[in-house]
C-alpha cells in the first residue's frame, strides 16, 4: 500500500511540475529568447524519446513490462525500421553509448559493417570509376544493426527478443498510419528507387507509396522479424536471410557475400570525451565523426559565448569558423582505426584546440578545406532510460534516405549504401579496402557531470550532426536553455565544399540559418565573407533525456514527428 501511495504522490507531483513548466516555457512561443515549442516531458520511472510517436509508445510499454533501457531501445529501433524506413532499418548500421547503472560506467558499441572482403580499389581503377556510385550493389556494406542489437541484448537485456519484437511484428502485419514527414520522404525515395528490384513489392504494393494517414503494412519485414525472434538474431548473418541477401547482391553485380555476413562482429569501444565548462561530453571514436563535436567545443571554450548570445553575428561567425577547422581534420583523419594509426589524442587535446583557435579571424570568414564528405543522409536517433538508472543513446541509419536501392526479395528491408563514403584516392586514410569500415556520419552522444549521468542525446542528419550537437550543448551550458528549448532554438548549419577524394575547392562553403535569425545578422555575416544559402531539411532531428535530481526530463525534435514520453 505504501508503494502505491508513493507512486500516486509522485504522479501528482510530476503533474504540477508539468503545469509549472508549461506556464514558464511551454506557452511562450518564440518570443524574446524563449524558443520552446512545448514543455519538457518529466517522469520518475522511465523515459523514451524517438522520431516516431508509435515507436516511442512501444518503447514505453517495454519499460512498463520490466524491460531494461536496452530492451526498450531495441524495440524502438525495430519499430522505426518499419515505420520510418526512409531513414533506417535492419539493412543499416548502428552505434550506441550505454550508461550502466550497475557498473556506473559508459559502454560504447560500434556496429558498423565493413566493405565486402573481395572489394578493392583496383576494381574501381580497372573499371574506370573515378567516383564511388551512390546507389546500386557496389556501395552495399555489411549491415551491422542486427548484430548490434544482439551485442546490446546479450550484455544488458532482460526481456526475450520475442517479446521485444512483438509490437513491431503486429504493426507490420496489420498496418499503421503513415505520418506526414515520412510520407514526404517516401515520395522522394519513390522517385529515386521505384525502378530498382523489389522496391515496389514492399513500399508500393497498392500502386504507390503511402500518403499521410494511409495504413501501411510490410508483412515481409514482419516475417523476417519473426524468424529472428524465434530462431535467433544470428539468423540474419548465418541463416537463410543471409543467403538470400548475399545471393541477391551478387546477382546485381555486387560483392557482398555470405562469408562477409557470417564473419561479421560488432566492436565494443571506449568512448572518447572532452570537458566543456565542467561537463564531460562523450562520443565514440572514429570511424565515426563524433570527435568533430568535441573539437568544435574545445575550440570555442575560450570565447565568452554567454556574453555574445545566440542572436549575434559574432557568435555565429565564431561557431562557423570552429566548425570549419574541425571538419578540415575530419576530412583528413577520420577513418577506420584498424587500418591506420589515427592522431585521436592530438586532435582531442586542449593544446591542439588552442593552436587551431589562433587561425580564426574574428571578423573575416576563412576559405578552408571545410569538409571531406557529402552532406546528405537520413538517420534515426533514439534514447531511453529505465527505472534502474540505465540510459541508452542509440543512432541507426541506412545513409542516403532508404539506402542503396538494393531490396533483397521477400525480406522487407533495403540495404545501406555506406560504401559511398569511402575515398577512391589511394593516398587517403579513408580509401576503400576489403574488410574496412568507411568513415561514418552517425554519432550518439552522452554528457556526465562528476562521473554521474546527465544527458543522453543526439541529432540525426549527416554532416549536420556534430554542428547541431555542439549547438545543443552551447544552448544548455552557455545560454541557459532547458532541454526542449535547446533543441527548438534556431540552428546554424555550415556546408563544406570538398569531397572524400580529398579534392579541395577553397570557397569557404555555405551557411544555412533558420528563419529566426533576422536580416541584420545575415547582412553582418555576408560582410564578414560568409555565403548564405538556405538548405531545406538540413537542420537535423533531436532527441534527448536528462537525469536531474533523480527525475528524467525528455525532449523531442519539433521539426519532425518525434515524441518524448515517460511514466
Active site residues: 379
Interatomic CA distance for residues 215 and 174, integer angstroms: 9
Interatomic CA distance for residues 88 and 144, integer angstroms: 12
CB-side neighbour CA atoms (13 Å) of 240: 9
Look up residue 528 and give its three cell numbers. 564578414
123, burial (CB in 10 Å: exposed 0-12, middle 13-18, buried 19+): middle
Residue 391 bridge partners (DSSP): 99, 385
Look up residue 328 and give its three cell numbers. 578540415
Residue 93 bridge partners (DSSP): 397
**105-110-111 Cα angle (round to 5):** 130
Look up residue 18 and give its three cell numbers. 508539468
Residue 31 bridge partners (DSSP): 34
Residue 512 bridge partners (DSSP): 493
Q: Is the dihedral of CA 237, 238, 242, 246 positive or negative?
A: positive
Q: Is 197 helix (H, G, I), strand (E, B) or coil?
A: coil
542 close to 490: Cβ distance less than 8 angstroms? no
Cα–Cα distances (Å) from 365 to 36, 88, 276, in that order, read: 31, 36, 25
Q: Are strands 47-50 and 105-111 parallel, antiparallel or unpaired?
A: unpaired
Length of the chain: 567
Cα–Cα distances (Å) from 32 to 134, 305, 311, 348, 500, in that order, read: 44, 18, 10, 36, 41
Residue 99 bridge partners (DSSP): 106, 391
Interatomic CA distance for residues 229 and 110, integer angstroms: 22
Question: How many Cβ atoms from other residues are within 10 Å of residue 361's Cβ?
Answer: 11
Longest pairwise C-alpha distance within the chain: 75
Instruction: Pick the closest to residue 112 from 502, 421, 543, 503 (CA basis).
Output: 421
DSSP 489-529: S--EEEE----TT-----S--EEEE-TTS-HHHHHHHHHTT
Amino acid at each position: 500500500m505504501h508503494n502505491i501511495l508513493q507512486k500516486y504522490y509522485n504522479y501528482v507531483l510530476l503533474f504540477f511540475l508539468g503545469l509549472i513548466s508549461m506556464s514558464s516555457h511551454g506557452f511562450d512561443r518564440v518570443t524574446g529568447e524563449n524558443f520552446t515549442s512545448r514543455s519538457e516531458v518529466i517522469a520518475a520511472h522511465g523515459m523514451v524519446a524517438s522520431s516516431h510517436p508509435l515507436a516511442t509508445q512501444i518503447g514505453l510499454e517495454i519499460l512498463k513490462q520490466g524491460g531494461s533501457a536496452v530492451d526498450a531501445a531495441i524495440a524502438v529501433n525495430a519499430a522505426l525500421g518499419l515505420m520510418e524506413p526512409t531513414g533506417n532499418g535492419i539493412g543499416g548500421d548502428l552505434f550506441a553509448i550505454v550508461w550502466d547503472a550497475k557498473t556506473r560506467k559508459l559502454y560504447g558499441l560500434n556496429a558498423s559493417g565493413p566493405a565486402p572482403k573481395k572489394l578493392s580499389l583496383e576494381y574501381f581503377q580497372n573499371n574506370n570509376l573515378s567516383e564511388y556510385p551512390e546507389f546500386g550493389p557496389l556501395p552495399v556494406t555489411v549491415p551491422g544493426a542486427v548484430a548490434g542489437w544482439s551485442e546490446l541484448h546479450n550484455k544488458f537485456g532482460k526481456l526475450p527478443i520475442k517479446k521485444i519484437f512483438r509490437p513491431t511484428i503486429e504493426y507490420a502485419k496489420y498496418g499503421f498510419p503513415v505520418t506526414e514527414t515520412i510520407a514526404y520522404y517516401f515520395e522522394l525515395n519513390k522517385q529515386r528507387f521505384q525502378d530498382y528490384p523489389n522496391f515496389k513489392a514492399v513500399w508500393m504494393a497498392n500502386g504507390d507509396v503511402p500518403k499521410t494517414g494511409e495504413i501501411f503494412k510490410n508483412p515481409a519485414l514482419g516475417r523476417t522479424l519473426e524468424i529472428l525472434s524465434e530462431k535467433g538474431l544470428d539468423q540474419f548473418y548465418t541463416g537463410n536471410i543471409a543467403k538470400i541477401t548475399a545471393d541477391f547482391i551478387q546477382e546485381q553485380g555486387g560483392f557482398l557475400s555470405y562469408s562477409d555476413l557470417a564473419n561479421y562482429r560488432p566492436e565494443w569501444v571506449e568512448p572518447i570525451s572532452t570537458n566543456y565548462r565542467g561537463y564531460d561530453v562523450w562520443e565514440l571514436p572514429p570511424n565515426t565523426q563524433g570527435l568533430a563535436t568535441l573539437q568544435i567545443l574545445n575550440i570555442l571554450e575560450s570565447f565568452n559565448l554567454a556574453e555574445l548570445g545566440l542572436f549575434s553575428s559574432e557568435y555565429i561567425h565564431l561557431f562557423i569558423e570552429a566548425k570549419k577547422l574541425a571538419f578540415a581534420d575530419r576530412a583528413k583523419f577520420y577513418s577506420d582505426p584498424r587500418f591506420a594509426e589515427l592522431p585521436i589524442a592530438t586532435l582531442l587535446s586542449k593544446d591542439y584546440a588552442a593552436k587551431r583557435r589562433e587561425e580564426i579571424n574574428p571578423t573575416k570568414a576563412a576559405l578552408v578545406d571545410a569538409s571531406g564528405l557529402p552532406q546528405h543522409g537520413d538517420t534515426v536517433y533514439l534514447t531511453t532510460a529505465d527505472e534502474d538508472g540505465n540510459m541508452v543513446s542509440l543512432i541507426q541509419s541506412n545513409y542516403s534516405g532508404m539506402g542503396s536501392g538494393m531490396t533483397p526479395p521477400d525480406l522487407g528491408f533495403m540495404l545501406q549504401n555506406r560504401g559511398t563514403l569511402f575515398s577512391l584516392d589511394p593516398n587517403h586514410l579513408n580509401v576503400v579496402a576489403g574488410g574496412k569500415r568507411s568513415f561514418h556520419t552517425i554519432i550518439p552522444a552522452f554528457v556526465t557531470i562528476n562521473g554521474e549521468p546527465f544527458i543522453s542525446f543526439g541529432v540525426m542528419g549527416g554532416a549536420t550532426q556534430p554542428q547541431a550537437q555542439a549547438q545543443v550543448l552551447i544552448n544548455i551550458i552557455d545560454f541557459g536553455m532547458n532541454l526542449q528549448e535547446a533543441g527548438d532554438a534556431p540552428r546554424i548549419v555550415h556546408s563544406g565544399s570538398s569531397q572524400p577524394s580529398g579534392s579541395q575547392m577553397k570557397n569557404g562553403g555555405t551557411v544555412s540559418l533558420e528563419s529566426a535569425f533576422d536580416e541584420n545578422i545575415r547582412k553582418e555575416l555576408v560582410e564578414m565573407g560568409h555565403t548564405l544559402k538556405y538548405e531545406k531539411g538540413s537542420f537535423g532531428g533531436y532527441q534527448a533525456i536528462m537525469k536531474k535530481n533523480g527525475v528524467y526530463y525528455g525532449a523531442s525534435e519539433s521539426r519532425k514527428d518525434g515524441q518524448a514520453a515517460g511514466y
